Structure 1
Amino acid sequence: MKVRWEPYLRNEPHPADSHVLDHLEQQWRVKLPEQYKELVSTYQGMGPEPCAFNVGTGNDAVSVLLLVSADKEKESYSVHKAHSVLEPHVPVGIYPFALTPGGEYLCFDYRSTQARPKIVLVTVDMSIHPVADSFIAFMDGLYNG
């Protein structure tokens, strides 16, 4: 299914410079999935449609791709702020990229591989639930909920 990107924090795409993503990879010491870098480079701060995904025995939805570019007014939606919230509570190798309507984080899970991270949901109580085996599988699995 083709994903459309809808306004959330911004009314139109807000491109991120490639050096911002390079810096993020250096800071986290990971290689971000290419499809993610392509999407967030254009659609950071926007939400996908369709947005529903399966997790465990239920489903949830993606509200917004977190911002990779600095934005003081929207700092609470940045990957850096989200990571600082999660870091004391989750294992090393979990890095946020999106937010759900319930304030939970979709994250890359690099704990078992540095090459192709799995996608997990970190809930408000900091429990970790598997969602997809890759970012591509996650995006391909979005549906209308």
Structure 2
Amino acid sequence: MRKDLEWEYADAEVSEARVKEIGAQLGFYLPQDYIKCVKVNGGASVLPEEFNVEDVERCFGSLFSFDEKSSQYIVKKYELYNSSLPRDILPIAIDPAGNLLCFDYKDQQEKPVVVFWEHENASEKETLMHDEGLTDEQPEERARENLFYVAATFTAFLDKLHD
């Protein structure tokens, strides 16, 4: 993991066991590089904070927290966004505009890729099914249109952060 990253406003450190327990509660296996980072930097923002999604420069906001008293608690955030996100997606961070950085487990249950979820034009899947008469799979396909590949691993994502 990069040594030059400056993490700000982190929550109190949590144990690796606690991070894994919350991941399991949500139904996801969390990658070790992510666990190592969030146990000391949960809830934190980072400098440098810029990264690219395709050809668009984006700004990192903060990692979600593993402190259940935090407004950025990962379980609450998962519950909030789950109805609009495709299956097998775990939000792990937010940008200042309300978009999410997520792990995508669709093709890799133990090695998820990092994706960017654009919240513009995203709808709850149930609403799409009801309002537009879509089948069960069509809202899922539509929800995936808002995902953009960022990096193969969490470490690779951190390596892409720049000024």
> Cα offset for 1:60?
0.6
Q: Secondary structure at the match of 1:96?
A: strand
Unaligned runs of at least 5 residues, structure 2: 123-145
Match of 2:147 in 1: 128
Match of 1:116 in 2: 111
Instruction: State the Cα deviation string for residues 27-46 of structure 1 (Å, max 9, x = none).
Output: 23322111111111011111
**Does structure 1 retain, via aligned residues, the 8 Å contact 2:16–2:36?**
no
**Does structure 2 retain, via aligned residues, the 8 Å contact 1:4–1:50?**
yes
Match of 2:136 in 1: none
Among candidates 47, 50, 61, match of residue 48 of structure 2 = 50
Paired amino acid for 1:62: F
For the residues of structure 2 that align with 1:4 and 1:121, how far apart are their CA atoms? Answer: 22
For the residues of structure 2 that align with 1:89 and 1:64, how far apart are their CA atoms? Answer: 20
For the residues of structure 2 that align with 1:106 and 1:6, how far apart are their CA atoms? Answer: 18
Number of residue-to-residue matches in the alignment? 137
Residues 60-79 of structure 1 mapped to structure 2, 5 A cutoff: 60-71=58-69, 74-75=70-71, 77-79=72-74
Q: TM-score, normalised by structure 2?
A: 0.77
Q: Secondary structure at the match of 2:17?
A: helix
Match of 1:95 in 2: 90
For the residues of structure 1 that align with 2:99 and 2:76, how far apart are their CA atoms? Answer: 13
Higher Rg of the two aligned structures: 2
For the residues of structure 2 that align with 1:96 and 1:109, how far apart are their CA atoms? Answer: 9
Name the structure where strand makes up a greater proportion of residues. Answer: 1
Q: TM-score, normalised by structure 1?
A: 0.86
Paired amino acid for 2:49: C
Q: Within the alignment, does 1:105 sit opposite 2:100 as a pair?
A: yes
Match of 1:141 in 2: 160
Instruction: State the Cα deviation string for residues 83-124 of structure 1 (Å, max 9, x = none).
Output: 112211122110011110111110011011012111111122
Larger mean CA deviation between 125-134 and 112-121 belongs to 125-134
For the residues of structure 1 that align with 2:55 and 2:111, how far apart are their CA atoms? Answer: 24
> Cα offset for 1:23?
1.6
Q: Secondary structure at the match of 2:80?
A: helix
Among candidates 14, 17, 20, match of residue 19 of structure 1 = 17
Unaligned runs of at least 5 residues, structure 1: none
For the residues of structure 2 that align with 1:89 and 1:29, how far apart are their CA atoms? Answer: 17
